[in-house]
Structure 1
Amino acid sequence: MADDTKFLLLALLLSCSSLCFGSEADIQCLKSVQQSVIDPNGVLKSSWYFENPYPNDAYICRFTGVECWYHDENRVLSLRLGNLGLEGPFPQGLENCSSVTGLDLSNNNFSGPIPQDISRQVPYLTSLDLSYNSFTGSIPQNISNMTYLNILNLQHNQFSGQIPPQFNLLTRLTAFNVAENLLSGPIPSLLQNFSASNFAGNQGLCGSPLDECSTPQRRWRPVRIRLHRLNDQSSIGAAVGFVVGFVVAFYFPQCFVCSERFRANVVRI
Structure 2
Amino acid sequence: MAGNTKFVLLFLLLSSSSPCFGIEQDIRCLKSVQGSLADPGGVLRSWDFENETNGFICRFTGVECWHPDENKILSLRLGNLGLEGQFPVALQNCSSLTGLDLSNNNFLGPIPQDISWVMPYLTSLDLSYNSFSGSIPHNISNMTYLNVLNLQHNQLSGQIPPQFTLLTRLIGFNVADNLLSGPIPSSLQNFSASNFAGNQGLCGAPLDDCPPSRRRWRPVRISMHRLNDQSSIGVAVGFVVGFVVAFYFPHLFVCSERLRAYVVRI
- TM-score, normalised on structure 2? 0.83
Percent of residue pairs bearing the same amino acid type: 68
Q: Give 1:62 shift.
A: 0.3
1:228-267 aligned at under 5 Å gives the runs 228-229=234-235, 231=237, 232-243=239-250
Query: What is the rounded CA distance, in whole Å, between the counterparts of 1:188 and 1:19 in structure 2?
Result: 40
Task: Specify the code of the residue in structure 2 equivalent to 1:106.
Answer: S
Q: Which residue in the other structure is 1:43 paired with?
A: 43
Q: Which residue in the other structure is 1:179 paired with?
A: 176
Q: Relative to structure 1, is the Cα distance of residues 218 and 104 closer, same or farther in structure 2, using a 3 angstrom cutoff?
A: same
Contact 1:19/1:99 (8 A) holds in 2: no
1:1-269 aligned at under 5 Å gives the runs 7-14=6-13, 18=17, 20-21=19-20, 22-46=22-46, 48-52=47-51, 55-218=52-215, 228-229=234-235, 231=237, 232-243=239-250
Q: Deviations over 1:103-140 (max 9, x none)?
A: 00011111111111100000000000001111111111
Partner of 1:116, secondary structure, is coil
Structure 2 unaligned spans of 5+: 223-229, 254-266
Q: Relative to structure 1, is the Cα distance of residues 243 and 215 closer, same or farther in structure 2, using a 3 angstrom cutoff?
A: same
Query: What is the rounded CA distance, in whole Å, between the counterparts of 1:237 and 1:129 in structure 2?
Result: 85
Q: Relative to structure 1, is the Cα distance of residues 229 and 107 closer, same or farther in structure 2, using a 3 angstrom cutoff?
A: same
Q: Give 1:3 shift.
A: 7.4
Query: What is the rounded CA distance, in whole Å, between the counterparts of 1:105 and 1:221 in structure 2?
Result: 46
Q: Deviations over 1:77-118 (max 9, x none)?
A: 000001111111111311111110000001111111111110
Query: What is the rounded CA distance, in whole Å, between the counterparts of 1:9 and 1:119 in structure 2?
Result: 20
- TM-score, normalised on structure 1? 0.82
Q: Give 1:234 shift.
A: 2.0
Query: What is the rounded CA distance, in whole Å, between the counterparts of 1:75 and 1:51 in structure 2?
Result: 17
Contact 1:19/1:98 (8 A) holds in 2: no
Q: Which residue in the other structure is 1:260 paired with?
A: none
Q: Give 1:238 shift.
A: 1.6
Task: Specify the code of the residue in structure 1 equivalent to 2:69.
Answer: D
Q: Deviations over 1:232-267 (max 9, x none)?
A: 322222212313999xxxxxxxxxxxxxxxxxxxxx
Structure 1 unaligned spans of 5+: 247-269
Q: Which residue in the other structure is 2:258 paired with?
A: none
Task: Specify the code of the residue in structure 1 equivalent to 2:130.
Answer: N
Q: Relative to structure 1, is the Cα distance of residues 219 and 84 closer, same or farther in structure 2, using a 3 angstrom cutoff?
A: closer
CA RMSD between the two structures? 2.8
Alignment: residue pair count: 242
